[in-house]
A and B are shown apart, each in its own frame.
Chain A
């Protein structure tokens, strides 16, 4: 499995992350807040996928996130699910003011199970936390759900930027930990098969000598 992108970019790890969830929950705005620190009240709907990147530092390592923002309408899933391939993380977004977008989370999880790598790291994101007065999904309910499904959870606002950095940083750090641990284990012994705890297969180890790079 290869991820497009030149290996001579300045990063230690390259992680592909997808943004999924119902239409208009704010996926594109979360992405533009994270990658460009911009927010637009009126943006166009996403057709197909849109791509952006940003690098962050974790443990002194440069982690480059390659983020694919997908279209929310169910009609597009046949086309968008093709982009899940190779993703090591997914931000599954709902809108805290729209119960239906939370009710659909189960369907999105299934979508990931059917089309993404089985050990993909998933984070549930309740967006539009600035709209307190319109809240219809309680954070407690989302937390309970996440405990049951072993997902992490965060509430964000793309509009006022609350927790947007944190959401991306959290998931990237989680992935980093799993990957670096896995690399250690792999260095140690290759005896153990998958299935014990959550492991991520480093699918494309450093190609060139010198710098150590992991590409998942």
Chain B
């Protein structure tokens, strides 16, 4: 038992020998000392502590019960437990805690191999298509979450490019699609938080040792791939997954908010006019970045269901603006919908959207459109 706790602590802290007690204490202190004003974007402290206790109980077993882990994680994961919970739920870490270290070492090594085979070869040995992909990724990397300084740092620019490029090479049926650079960012943010304490604005990632960075990059790569596997058809040629989401959303909107639906129809506004981006980036572009990891907790906990769950999130988001929208014409609606007034949103606002979405999954689960 103690062995497990130790292993867990080491994983959570991203270092080799840290006692569990220390993790608990540290985690508690970061959430309490969260200086000056209460962070409305962060998980409320009481809830966070309850979640932590429940999660630690699940994680402190020699074999982790993934289903239980998903159940609890759905409601949000405290920051310091995020890396480990995501990695378990995505199947990157096995349920047997005793093999965590071996598996991770092995995966990180495999990532280095992939780098060698695909990335660290001269351009003359890359195909025309691969070069095109690399060009597109290089164009998009600097345009990744420009408001978050972290991703603009040169070390992270390189990481973004490498991960996206290698995934495109290893998954030719979907390849690279614009917007995947955004979808990758929560992984980089969360897994780097194992190494850097405190606010991400202060992280000096450019000084991180190359080896360490590639380790984290590897974790990101594999987890990103696992998440992408669950939504792959959103990114394959012609993007059938996105079309499916839009169709499902159309059917459901009629039932959930017929007034809004008919108002939109009257004004000539189609869901396709604005939801392509919503689905393509799993709705993360519509929210402040600080809330995206919380959204990811739920997505990842949904497992393969993420494909239909994201439709309900989109609906909940749309319907939350229903009243306003119904007072607008085509132009007013589309301008608002492509730049939703969510900049001031708090943790609670997102919780409301998620619970609404959950409610509807329960109501409509047997009536798949």
Q: Is the CB of A78 within 8 A of B239?
A: yes
Q: Is the CB of A45 within 8 A of B179?
A: yes
Q: Is the CB of A71 within 8 A of B178?
A: yes
Find the B residue at minimum CB distance from A83. Answer: B273
**From B145, B182, B238, B273, contact of A78 by CB (8 A):** B238
Q: Is the CB of A23 within 8 A of B285?
A: no
CB within 8 Å of A: which B173-226 residues: 175, 177-179, 181-182
Q: Is the CB of A44 within 8 A of B182?
A: yes
Residue B276 lies at the interface, judged by CB distance under 8 Å to chain A: yes
CA distance A40 to B276 in the complex (A): 23
Annotate B131-175 by CB proximity to A: 1 below 8 A, 0 otherwise.
000001001101111100000100000000000000000000001
B contacts, CB < 8 Å to A: 136, 139-140, 142-146, 152, 175, 177-179, 181-182, 237-239, 242, 267-269, 272-277, 280-281, 285, 329-331, 334-335, 338
CA distance A43 to B140 in the complex (A): 10
User: Given A6-B330, A42-B146, A47 and B239 touching (CB < 8 A)?
Assistant: no
CA distance A53 to B335 in the complex (A): 9
Residues of A within 8 A of B242 (CB): 79
Shortest B111–chain A CB gap in Å is: 25
Q: A48-B276, A79-B239 are in contact. List 7 more A-B contacts (CB 8 A).
A: A6-B331, A9-B331, A42-B143, A45-B179, A45-B181, A47-B280, A51-B335
CA distance A34 to B143 in the complex (A): 21
Residues of B within 8 A of A2 (CB): 268
Q: Is the CB of B329 within 8 A of A52?
A: no
Find the A residue at minimum CB distance from B338. Answer: A50
Q: Is the CB of A75 within 8 A of B177?
A: yes
Q: Is the CB of B142 within 8 A of A76?
A: no
Shortest B247–chain A CB gap in Å is: 14
Q: Is the CB of A48 within 8 A of B277?
A: yes
Shortest B217–chain A CB gap in Å is: 22
CA distance A6 to B280 in the complex (A): 30
User: Given A5-B329, A73-B177, A79-B242, A45 and B143 touching (CB < 8 A)?
Assistant: yes
CA distance A40 to B6 in the complex (A): 48
CB within 8 Å of B: which A19-59 residues: 23-24, 40, 42-53
A contacts, CB < 8 Å to B: 2-6, 9, 23-24, 40, 42-53, 66, 71-73, 75-76, 78-79, 82
Shortest B65–chain A CB gap in Å is: 37
Main secondary structure of the interface of B (DSSP, over half): helix
CA distance A4 to B336 in the complex (A): 15
Q: Is the CB of A51 within 8 A of B139?
A: no
Q: Is the CB of A5 within 8 A of B136?
A: no
Find the B residue at minimum CB distance from A24. Answer: B139
Q: Is the CB of B178 within 8 A of A75?
A: yes
Q: Is the CB of B335 within 8 A of A47?
A: no
Residues of A within 8 A of B335 (CB): 51-52
Residues of A within 8 A of B239 (CB): 75, 78-79
Shortest A142–chain B CB gap in Å is: 21
Shortest A42–chain B CB gap in Å is: 4
Residues of B within 8 A of A72 (CB): 178
Residues of B within 8 A of A49 (CB): 273, 276
Find the A residue at minimum CB distance from B175. Answer: A75
Residues of A within 8 A of B280 (CB): 47-48
CA distance A6 to B332 in the complex (A): 10
23 A–B contacts from the bound complex (CB under 8 Å): A4-B269, A6-B267, A9-B331, A23-B136, A23-B140, A24-B143, A42-B143, A43-B146, A44-B145, A44-B146, A45-B139, A45-B140, A45-B178, A45-B179, A47-B178, A47-B179, A47-B285, A49-B276, A50-B338, A51-B335, A72-B178, A73-B136, A75-B175
User: Given A47-B178, A47-B179, A47-B276, A4 and B285 touching (CB < 8 A)?
Assistant: no
User: Given A44-B146, A44-B285, A51 and B273 touching (CB < 8 A)?
Assistant: yes
Residues of A within 8 A of B331 (CB): 4-6, 9, 51, 53, 66
CA distance A177 to B335 in the complex (A): 29
Find the B residue at minimum CB distance from A52. Answer: B335
Residues of A within 8 A of B276 (CB): 47-49, 79
CA distance A48 to B279 in the complex (A): 10
CA distance A93 to B178 in the complex (A): 19
CA distance A21 to B125 in the complex (A): 28
CA distance A71 to B180 in the complex (A): 14
Residues of B within 8 A of A40 (CB): 146
Shortest A183–chain B CB gap in Å is: 23
Q: Is the CB of A23 within 8 A of B178?
A: yes
Shortest B313–chain A CB gap in Å is: 17
CA distance A82 to B181 in the complex (A): 25
Residues of B within 8 A of A52 (CB): 335
Find the B residue at minimum CB distance from A69. Answer: B338
User: Given A48-B276, A78-B239, A42 and B142 touching (CB < 8 A)?
Assistant: yes
CA distance A56 to B272 in the complex (A): 28
Q: Is the CB of B268 within 8 A of A73?
A: no
Residues of B within 8 A of A78 (CB): 237-239
Q: Is the CB of A82 within 8 A of B272?
A: yes
